[in-house]
Chain A
Amino acid sequence: MWGEKLHPVAYQSPVASAQVKSCLLLAGLMVDGETSVTEPFRSRDHSERMLAAFGAAVSVDGNTAAVRGPARLRGQEAIVPGDISSAAFWLVAGSIVPDSELTIENVGVNPTRTGVLDILQEMGADIALENLREAMGEPVADLRVRSATLRGCDIGGEVIPRAIDELPVLAVAAACAQGRTTIRDAAELRVKESDRITAMAHELSTLGVTLREHPDGLEIEGGQPLTGGTVRTYDDHRVAMSLAIAGLVAQSPVAIQGMNCAAISYPNFVPTLEQLEAIPLSAECSGQ
């Protein structure tokens, strides 16, 4: 039975998942005819963009992405843009630390990923996209952020899948914003590297933030100064780096236990923090 020829499918996916969609489009490269995936809403579209750049016949219509096979891919000169999920830490840091001005160079600003920009701008952040260009079908820009007085907002619905990985650091922004911020429709946060809703709720509480946890999000009362303290990372890189950003505006030092997990997505996070200087860092390599 193994080795049977595949047939094209027009698949209606019950979930918006870039991995499901990419898997089927990759399978469709070798299939005679059109393989398509329709999603309830549009997930990240990096595969479609890069497949087209490599010469595959890709078409996108609303929430449907399709590839026509059999395809031939040709070698390319690929440039990987900086990860907006990593840039998000500096966007928040530059916003909440007074008198800051940072430029994060060469960041991918694919519209399926830029929820963090939309949310921060709604909160009153001062962020500009400079030198907008395109590489391998992906939009790329330098992001300039200046500190600003943030205000709370409601985060939910359509923007959530475009900002899901950035919600932990946005919770830090919310803690520093004037007024209440609600994050809803984000139950998926509970099944990431850690339960990020509980992790951020618990650790921000430790730093003196008033908040309430919901099954699918958080309600954060912003505007009170963060206190210092010792916090845990739950071995989750995004929790670790979000808490480091919180430490930049706390009234006394924040000690983050388990910071080494940051290396999973951002090996240079601590050196970059040091490069931005102004920040006295005391680091100790304990235990492991």
Chain B
Amino acid sequence: MDTPAVLTVSARSPLRGRITVPGDKSISHRALMLGSLAEGETTIRGLLLGEDPRSTAACFRALGAEISELNSELVTVRGIGLGNLQEPADVLDAGNSGTTMRLMLGVLASHPERFLRSRAIARCGVGPWDGWRSRCGRWGPASGDGKGANSRRWRCGAKSSIL
């Protein structure tokens, strides 16, 4: 979709009509996640098409979920079932999506170690996560960064201490 770099808006007459707005981002992420973690098929209508939900879909495809091409009409997800995540071929990439990064930490916590790469960690830092990761202690920074200067790599998985 082409959005112009410069938009000029002028005042004029009344706004009238019926419109729709894009799908809710929070719910789009969660539908992809839970559909991937569920047994059987999930259908998703109204998904938000954007970089962030794409990051979530990419992570779960790498973990074995079959997710059809993303569109706002209909996406089908063949879930892998809790506990059946496959070993990804590469570092999982959460892109610039803070939601993907933080929710994936929870998804991966009870699985063997995986690596998660995230520009969002580099952008936002870990923030409140520092304070409680020692208590829940299942993830932490991995040595080296992700691909590219603006990514950070974390390792995630069931472990008693990260340090």
Q: Which residues of A contact B (CB under 8 A)?
A: 1-6, 9, 11, 13-15, 17-20, 22-27, 29-31, 44, 46-47, 50-51, 54-55, 70-87, 90, 93-94, 97-108, 136, 138, 147, 191, 244, 247-260, 262-273, 275-276, 278-288
Does B110 contact A78, Cβ atoms closer than 8 Å?
Answer: no
Q: In the complex, which residues 39-83 of chain B have their Cβ closer than 8 Å to any Cβ of chain A?
A: 39-51, 77, 79, 81-83
Does A1 contact B3, Cβ atoms closer than 8 Å?
Answer: no
Does A27 contact B109, Cβ atoms closer than 8 Å?
Answer: yes
- Chain A CB within 10 Å, residue with most, of B21, B23, B46, B131: B21
- Interface size range of chain B in the complex: 35 or more
With contact pairs A83-B24, A106-B20, A259-B4 given, residues A278 and B9 touching in the complex (Cβ less than 8 Å): no
Kindly state the separation between the CA atoms of A124 and B98 in the bound complex, as whole angstroms.
35
With contact pairs A20-B102, A99-B13 given, residues A2 and B112 touching in the complex (Cβ less than 8 Å): yes
Q: Mind listing 9 A-B residue pairs with CB under 8 Å?
A: A6-B158, A24-B136, A26-B109, A46-B26, A70-B83, A76-B35, A255-B7, A256-B6, A280-B10
Kindly state the separation between the CA atoms of A24 and B159 in the bound complex, as whole angstroms.
15
Kindly state the separation between the CA atoms of A125 and B88 in the bound complex, as whole angstroms.
51
List 20 extra interface pairs beyond A90-B21, A247-B11, A281-B8, CB under 8 A: A2-B113, A20-B102, A22-B106, A23-B102, A80-B45, A82-B20, A82-B24, A83-B21, A102-B16, A104-B19, A252-B10, A254-B9, A254-B10, A255-B7, A270-B7, A271-B1, A278-B13, A278-B16, A280-B12, A284-B4
Does B15 contact A278, Cβ atoms closer than 8 Å?
Answer: yes
With contact pairs A3-B112, A73-B39, A104-B20 given, residues A264 and B50 touching in the complex (Cβ less than 8 Å): yes
Does B25 contact A265, Cβ atoms closer than 8 Å?
Answer: yes
- Chain A CB within 10 Å, residue with most, of B25, B26, B109, B131: B26
Q: Which residues of B contact A (CB under 8 A)?
A: 1-28, 30-31, 33-35, 37-51, 77, 79, 81-83, 98-99, 102-103, 105-107, 109-113, 124, 128-129, 131-132, 135-136, 138, 157-161
Count of A-B residue pairs with CB < 8 Å:
310
The 9 A-B residue pairs with the shortest CB-CB distance in the complex, in nearest-first order: A247-B9, A26-B106, A75-B40, A23-B106, A30-B110, A80-B23, A73-B38, A80-B46, A283-B4
Kindly state the separation between the CA atoms of A74 and B25 in the bound complex, as whole angstroms.
22
A251 to B: closest C-beta gap in Å = 7
Does A263 contact B1, Cβ atoms closer than 8 Å?
Answer: yes
Name the one of B5, B19, B43, B136 contacting A260, with C-beta atoms under 8 angstroms.
B5
Name the one of A14, A80, A85, A281 contacting B44, with C-beta atoms under 8 angstroms.
A80
- Chain A CB within 10 Å, residue with most, of B10, B41, B50: B10
- Chain A CB within 10 Å, residue with most, of B17, B42, B82, B99: B17
* Residues in A neighbouring B103, C-beta threshold 8 A: 19, 22-23, 26
Chain B residue, CB-CB nearest to A81 = B24
Chain B residue, CB-CB nearest to A255 = B8
Name the one of B4, B19, B31 contacting A80, with C-beta atoms under 8 angstroms.
B31
Name the one of B6, B105, B110 contacting A259, with C-beta atoms under 8 angstroms.
B6
Name the one of A81, A271, A279 contacting B12, with C-beta atoms under 8 angstroms.
A279
* Residues in B neighbouring A279, C-beta threshold 8 A: 9-10, 12-13, 15
With contact pairs A87-B21, A285-B2 given, residues A265 and B9 touching in the complex (Cβ less than 8 Å): no
* Residues in B neighbouring A84, C-beta threshold 8 A: 24
With contact pairs A6-B138, A81-B24 given, residues A286 and B5 touching in the complex (Cβ less than 8 Å): yes
* Residues in B neighbouring A247, C-beta threshold 8 A: 8-11
Kindly state the separation between the CA atoms of A81 and B28 in the bound complex, as whole angstroms.
9
* Residues in A neighbouring B41, C-beta threshold 8 A: 75
* Residues in A neighbouring B136, C-beta threshold 8 A: 9, 11, 24, 27
